[in-house]
A and B are shown apart, each in its own frame.
Chain A
Amino acid sequence: AQTVTQSQPEMSVQEAETVTLSCTYDTSESDYYLFWYKQPPSRQMILVIRQEAYKQQNATENRFSVNFQKAAKSFSLKISDSQLGDAAMYFCAYRSLQGAQKLVFGQGTRLTINP
């Protein structure tokens, strides 16, 4: 079974600075998807970014980018120019290419933005 680990329960950053959230995962599969989700206080789950394991190029979405290290099974999220609206819980998630597209989530990192 796959597992996802986020070792940083909490992180904080000054507004306009850059922060990196860490995620590691364990799998024996060679192809899969990885995701970062944002959960603001409203509880809504919002997809931030996704990465296909067969793509070597790191995914980027505006101020959000990932550092995908397949051999190390590492998948970190970098948030540039942090904004107050980025404050939330962030979850890393894994999805196998086999089966019913089930998601396996990490424990989450609570990100605080200091004005």
Chain B
Amino acid sequence: NAGVTQTPKFRILKIGQSMTLQCAQDMNHNYMYWYRQDPGMGLKLIYYSVGAGITDKGEVPNGYNVSRSTTEDFPLRLELAAPSQTSVYFCASTTAGGASSYNEQFFGPGTRLTVL
């Protein structure tokens, strides 16, 4: 298994450009997440999905959009990039279980995005 994969690894955008960060997992996980990590800070949740066709906002959703057409893929779209979106973006996934059951959340390697 490749686990959680993210592309690209690095990207530089100009202000106002758009791009899509790709995330895929091959573990048949229902739950997928996008987090961002600003320099020297912890991760904050942008969007998440509990299954194909179901997405919801996290703590910092402004400026982003997501879709989940398949179990495997969970792309994150940035429209009109701004310097405030300079960050490292992590995708993660886990299996759906009972709310009280422990299921490890697996993280991708991250995408470093710079907006100039």
Which A residues are within 8 Å of any B CB, using their own CB? Answer: 4, 6, 9, 31, 33, 42-45, 47, 50, 52, 91, 97-108
Contacts and interface: CB of A to CB of B under 8 A. Distances in A.
6 contacts: A4-B42, A6-B42, A44-B110, A45-B107, A100-B48, A102-B48
Contact of B33 (A50, A98, A102, A108): A102
Contacts of A9: 40
B41 A107 contact: yes
Contacts, number: 57
Main secondary structure of the interface of B (DSSP, over half): strand
Contacts of A47: 104
Interface of B: 31, 33, 35, 40-45, 48, 50, 56, 58, 88, 90, 92, 94, 99-100, 102-105, 107, 109-110, 112
Main secondary structure of the interface of A (DSSP, over half): loop
Given A44-B110, A102-B58, A106-B42, 12 more contacts: A31-B100, A43-B110, A44-B109, A45-B43, A97-B99, A100-B50, A101-B31, A102-B45, A103-B43, A103-B92, A105-B44, A107-B41
